[in-house]
Structure 1
């Protein structure tokens, strides 16, 4: 049964989420009935060729360069097996030239040094037809204090891409970003748009002169906005670089309050609308910092995360320790669904593995964000850290059933607090997914004229008693189900859960 949620209750929640207080004498309008109907418009396609969902998987620079802990074969295989289930079709891989070909000096070039981590990741992507967006943190290519770029180093960066694509055969590399989050202080450009533009133009010229620009396309601007006030980076890039940039890309780290109040949807819309019509735009990095909001919800989460960080020398300040919590898996899907429904063409979660990065070179203060820590035994002496975290379940389903080329339909979602939904199709198979980040249980009537599914599976990501196999991978709660969505199907959607219905045969 739909629990008794009235108009006054919804308004009160809005006050709480946005941090606005309300007095005891608040008078709510008369109750209005709340629709529980979710309508999938199969005739309205908001994206006809989704690139995919995936993760950032960087080539373990500190493990190889500083810790003398190269990833062992058994651990690589463990990760490959998990990714085989997740089936990401879009990955971001970022490195620093100083951790690779320029290890011996900014002007040096040796493409085979510290290659193993990169090679292992790219080989997996090549073998599994995964689209890769490669990138450099950018620090060696310019000097922000001198307002100059280093042409020879940019040449080496382009040569390295050519080496990976042509000599090593990693044609899975389809896109490249020159500087990570160039709008931010602390980035290689320190927020200087002109310096980023000149660097990116120079890199394109080098890549083109090497005959690789037709194989690897530029993506950008790769900015990390925390509101909708940086769309000028997108419009200026369009004016200055034109069709040299084939994929638009931004990063987002919304507060949890933005999952409720419509702010995240408006932010996503602002950047998509700033890009040229018809040009694909992706979220190249996203997650939750729980430090960017003003609500009590975010403050409580921020305090809990900070307490965890301060309690252990093994956790870097730049961490989200709440990835250990079940609810993070629902939060992450709420953001993912909003990205999909905003018309974006892909979403890459930060990140796959705690062992990828450390706050220092010691290897002890890891940046905790991942689905696991593959060096949990080697670094921390704790095998439990190598197990999959709860959000592996929820994110794997949304990645697994949205392969490259997926068609995304418009969904009219009922105005129930905390509810998001997506509906997709690929090669005649469908996935309908409903996420509920709120604590209330709902019954939702799902309609889609002309759609019936047989032999369908139903997965439910829930805190207790969720069905998994011996590896911790999701298994269906029910199988061989039939749905007639033309007539309407009523689905129970408990609080703080993800429900996935699909007739994909894997």
Structure 2
């Protein structure tokens, strides 16, 4: 028996064969990447941080300040801003708090606790209290001819001004906490970057360094609070040293009686490992005096990265590093773009200040745009799901470029933050040392799929893993930030597609099916001749 094609050549047959050849060539040209599964683990019977305070941020109490209002802030924008804070379950807001709010351009002026700016600050504090957000006030005080005009630029008068500063801060705590009932003000950060070399020239004469000067301020404030029976109202956090906690050891040893929580920070570190190493160094110093440690600022000075979807991954790598190093909390600089009050209300510089608006946030200055930046969706998801006060953080083991941190909240909900640090899709296998017997919901931030909108809803879950005991597996997109949590969100928020790979597989399946149909059509044009 032989087969013969019809004499009249079928155009459909020829065209189909050509198309089929092109499809096969295209499929063969696709890169085939075979990679091992990334195995990561949680030792969920070993706690590394008993008193985790959540993933937090620097968010200044400026919303009612006249300078912000003069640039367009109003009740509508404030409502949006406060709703975002509430929806992400922010736990602690660190804010600027300046003496000139109460005493104008000189610290020696009488304190006016009903001034325009104090009332503006009270209004913001109340909004935070209504949303269960604790506050860390940061009264920056340095010397010399810097922008703090209330200091007067008279560094030789420090012996007069230092007791006055301590008096102002002590009475501030009394007015804020005792008189007006803002019991959510729980922390005072003293001071700002006492280790920075660029400020050394502005220390008063007689001090060896700016840190030497700041140490005296911290001690003086502590003594005054004790004398006024207000020391129990707040915890002192410090020294807020930059450059990776420069002179951190001196702070530990020099202020062990005055500082309750050690803190330091850095910027522009490359990845999870760099953030982990930096934080672990400071955590280990804090352990010398048995104190917790905050990573009180972090971020990336490259605004192109900050404005891009990849900044969400950058933030998540840093957070995972801080948690695994044992930090009690971390504070992103900044939560939102904000308009600063005097004396920075008109400043523009290379640090992303534009006419007093500091453009470091995960959202734009609201009068400019109500859409958030892409990183908002990553940070808000992490803040919402990784827990707050009373949460415990557990020991984990990461793979080469997939990082994991784990927390269990007071209500026994588990959350696992997993960050893909690579540009490749990853198959992951998560091993737990003890069964958790939980249903886990997957929350996915995929930089390639994220789309911003004015509603700025928190990312919703897109997958469910039923009855997880001691292992679960998944495939996550390149540079993805994923949280697997037993918390079931009750809202219909932003939910990206399962992942880009699933879409690709679907398209590929369609191509294969169409190819089979095409082959069948071609074959049907061929018939046997006896």
Relative to the length of structure 2, the TM-score reads 0.74
Q: Does residue 475 of the first structure (1) align with residue 459 of the second (2)?
A: yes
Check the 8 A contact 2:438/2:469 in 1, yes or no.
no
- Among 404, 413, 430, which residue is 2:414 paired with? 430
Aligned to 2:517: none
Confirm whether residue 164 of structure 1 aligns to residue 176 of structure 2. yes
Give the CA deviation at 1:68: 3.1
Say if 1:85 and 1:106 are closer, same or farther in 2 by CA, change over 3 A. same
User: CA 1:365/1:194 → structure 2, altered by over 3 Å: closer, same or farther?
Assistant: closer
- Partners of 2:54 and 2:429 lie apart in 1 by 28
- Relative to structure 1, is the Cα distance of residues 76 and 62 closer, same or farther in structure 2, using a 3 angstrom cutoff? closer
User: Does the 8 Å contact 1:50/1:346 carry over to 2?
Assistant: yes
Number of residue-to-residue matches in the alignment: 431
1:3/1:89 Cα in 2 relative to 1: closer, same or farther (>3 Å)? farther
The whole-number CA distance in structure 2 between the counterparts of 1:66 and 1:44 is 47
1:272 paired with 2:283, answer yes
Whether the 8 Å CA contact 2:339–2:356 is kept in 1: the answer is no
Instruction: Provide Cα deviations, 1:185-238, integer angstroms capped at 9, x if missing partner.
Output: 455965512211111111112222222111112111111124x6533333333x
Question: What is the CA–CA distance in structure 2 between the aligned matches of 1:451 and 1:147, rounded to whole Å?
Answer: 63
1:468 to 1:475, Cα distance in 2 relative to 1, 3 A: farther
Aligned residue in 2 for 1:46? 48
Unaligned runs of 5+ in 2: 1-30, 143-149, 204-208, 348-353, 490-530
- 2:264 matched residue in structure 1: 250
1:149-200 per-position Cα deviation (integer Å, ceiling 9, x unaligned): 4112331222112111111111111111232111114559655122111111
TM-score between both structures, scaled by the size of structure 1 = 0.78
String of CA shifts for 1:30-74, please: whole Å, max 9, x gaps.
xxxx67211110111111220121111112299524873473221
Matched, 1:194 2:204: no
| Aligned equivalent of 1:355 | 338
Contact 2:242 2:264 in 1 (8 A): yes
CA pair 155-48 structure 1, distance change in 2 beyond 3 A: same
Instruction: Provide the C-alpha distance between the structure 2 equivalents of 1:159 and 1:209, rounded to a whole number of angstroms.
Output: 12
Structure 1 stretch 58-67 or stretch 68-77: which is displaced more? 58-67
Answer whether contact 2:309 2:448 (CA < 8 A) is retained.
no
- 8 Å contact 2:441–2:488 — kept in the other structure? no
Q: Structure 1, residues 225-280: CA drift from partner, whole Å, max 9, x if none?
A: 24x6533333333xxx3332111111221332xx16x3332222221111135311
Question: Residues of 2 paired with 1:116 and 1:326: CA distance?
Answer: 37
Aligned counterparts of 1:124 and 1:331: Cα–Cα separation in 2: 30
Deviation at 1:148, TM superposition (A): 2.7
Matched, 1:91 2:102: no
* 1:115 counterpart SS class: helix
Preserved contact between residue 52 and residue 346 of structure 1 (Cα < 8 Å): yes
CA distance in 1, matches of 2:129, 2:190: 22
Structure 1 stretch 454-463 or stretch 195-204: which is displaced more? 454-463
CA shift, 1:480, in A, is 4.4
Contact kept, 8 Å, 2:37 with 2:429, in 1: the verdict is no
| Structure 1 residues 469 and 153: alpha-carbon distance in aligned structure 2, compared to 1, 3 A threshold | closer
Compare 477-486 and 148-157 and name the one that shifted more: 477-486
Question: Are 1:120 and 2:103 an aligned pair?
Answer: no
What does residue 315 of structure 1 align with? Answer: none
How many Å separate the matches in 1 of 2:486 and 2:151?
Answer: 48
RMSD: 2.9
Determine if contact 1:90/1:346 at 8 Å carries over to the other structure.
no
Q: 1:51 to 1:477 in 2, by over 3 A?
A: closer
- Give the aligned partner of residue 188 of structure 2: 176
Equivalent residues in 2 for 1:29-108, closer than 5 Å: 36-60=38-62, 64-65=66-67, 68-69=70-71, 71-98=73-100, 100-108=101-109
Out of 396, 400, 422, the position equivalent to 2:380 is 396
State the secondary structure of the residue aligned to 1:101.
helix
Alpha-carbon contact 1:234-1:275 (below 8 Å) kept: no
1:414 pairs with one of 366, 378, 399:
399
SS in 1 for 2:473: strand
Q: 1:468 to 1:254 in 2, by over 3 A?
A: closer
Q: 1:2 to 1:252 in 2, by over 3 A?
A: farther
CA contact (8 A) 1:182 1:193 kept: yes
Separation in 1, partners of 2:62, 2:370: 15
Which deviates the most, 199-208 or 448-457?
A: 448-457
Partner of 1:294: none
Equivalent-residue separation in structure 1 for 2:182 and 2:300 (angstroms): 31
Structure 1: gaps of 5 or more residues: 6-33, 291-319, 377-381
